[in-house]
């Protein structure tokens, strides 16, 4: 019921915020009116606006998205390490619309606080079950999954510590956690949709005593949507990890 009320509120609020021209939004942020602005355009409506625009682009460019995964997120190496089969139970935390679940085989589940809204925007394949839930409270039994993905979502959650603990809980013994996260050299103030600016030391503090690293690569931070649209500007770097539960 709470998620249904949230969805209704988001839908109504988004109709209003979508009418604000993008240049106006940019000026407001530039003028550091973001404290008030983020009360109006909170993390959910901001993300929903992005996904509403992205849904059609992704649908037309799935092969390009897979190319991005292979080129910048080491998809083939991840596939080999995790050894996906038709029976592998896989979860994507903060799945969004363009979830990696489109490209792997197994029994596939995605969770996202805006899942019900996304299902109105996009027809997910039948073999992917999308559930409205947060990373801080994953609605599955302990040790249920062999593989958990979290791709550019850990900096979106309200509590990264709780999300990592929940991922550890739902992973089977020896299961794999595939994590992609944008890295920062220092803590910076971002926006409502991105409450964290994770440095390497912050990230490994979250992971210690829960996971060991079996694969680690840094990659240019371009952004999937930018790549699809031919914009290859490198703004930062991201870290791709395959971790094993301990």
Give the pLDDT confidence of 212-228 residue by residue, as tens digits: 999 999 999 999 999 99
Q: Where are the alpha helices (DSSP H) in 146-220?
A: 160-170, 200-207
Q: What is the DSSP annotation of 99-135? A: -GGGGS-SEEEEEETTHHHHHHH----TTEEEEE-BT
Half-sphere exposure of 172 (CA within 13 A, CB side): 10
Query: What pLDDT score does 3 carry?
Result: 45
Q: Give the tens place of pLDDT for each residue, 113-158.
A: 999 999 999 999 999 999 999 999 999 999 999 999 999 999 888 8
> How far separated are the first and last CA of the chain, in Å rounded?
36
Higher pLDDT, residue 212 or 185: 212
Q: Give the tens place of pLDDT for each residue, 37-84.
A: 554 456 677 788 889 999 999 999 999 999 999 999 999 999 999 999
Query: What pLDDT score does 5 carry?
Result: 47
Half-sphere exposure of 183 (CA within 13 A, CB side): 18
44 three-state secondary structure: helix
Can you say how many angstroms the Cα of residue 141 is from the centroid of all Cα atoms in its chain?
A: 21
Contact indicator for 123, 58 with CB cutoff of 8 Å: no
Sequence spans of domains, the chain: 62-245
What is the pLDDT of the chain when averaged over all its residues? 86
136 three-state secondary structure: coil
Higher pLDDT, residue 9 or 165: 165
CATH top-level class for 62-245? Answer: alpha beta
| pLDDT average, residue stretch 156-166 | 93
With a cut of 70, say whether residue 193 has pLDDT above it: no
Query: What pLDDT score does 2 carry?
Result: 41
Contact indicator for 135, 161 with CB cutoff of 8 Å: no
Higher pLDDT, residue 226 or 198: 226
Q: Which two tokens stand for residue 179?
A: 């994590």
Q: Rounded CA gap, 141 and 73, in Å?
A: 29
């Amino acid at each position: 019921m709470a998620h249904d009320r949230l969805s209704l509120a988001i839908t109504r609020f988004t109709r209003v915020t979508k009418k604000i021209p993008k240049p106006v939004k940019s000026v407001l942020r530039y003028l550091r009116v973001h404290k008030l602005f983020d009360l109006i355009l909170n993390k959910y409506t901001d993300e929903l606006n992005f996904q509403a625009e992205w849904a059609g682009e992704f649908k037309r460019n799935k092969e390009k998205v897979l190319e991005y995964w292979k080129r910048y997120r080491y998809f083939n190496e991840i596939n080999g390490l995790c050894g996906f089969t038709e029976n592998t139970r896989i979860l994507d935390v903060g799945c969004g619309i363009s979830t990696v679940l489109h490209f792997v085989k197994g029994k596939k589940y995605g969770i996202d606080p805006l899942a019900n809204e996304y299902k109105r925007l996009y027809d997910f394949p039948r073999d992917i079950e999308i559930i409205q839930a947060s990373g801080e409270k994953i609605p599955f039994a302990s040790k249920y999954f062999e593989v958990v993905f979290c791709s550019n979502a850990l900096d979106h959650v309200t509590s990264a510590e709780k999300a990592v603990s929940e991922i550890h809980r739902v992973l089977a013994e020896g299961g794999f956690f595939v994590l992609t996260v944008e890295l920062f050299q220092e803590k910076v103030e971002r926006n409502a949709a991105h409450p964290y600016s994770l440095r390497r030391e912050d990230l490994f503090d979250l992971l210690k005593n829960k996971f060991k690293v079996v694969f680690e690569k840094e990659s240019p931070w371009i952004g999937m949507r930018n790549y699809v649209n031919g914009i290859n500007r490198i703004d930062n770097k991201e870290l791709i990890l395959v971790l094993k539960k301990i």
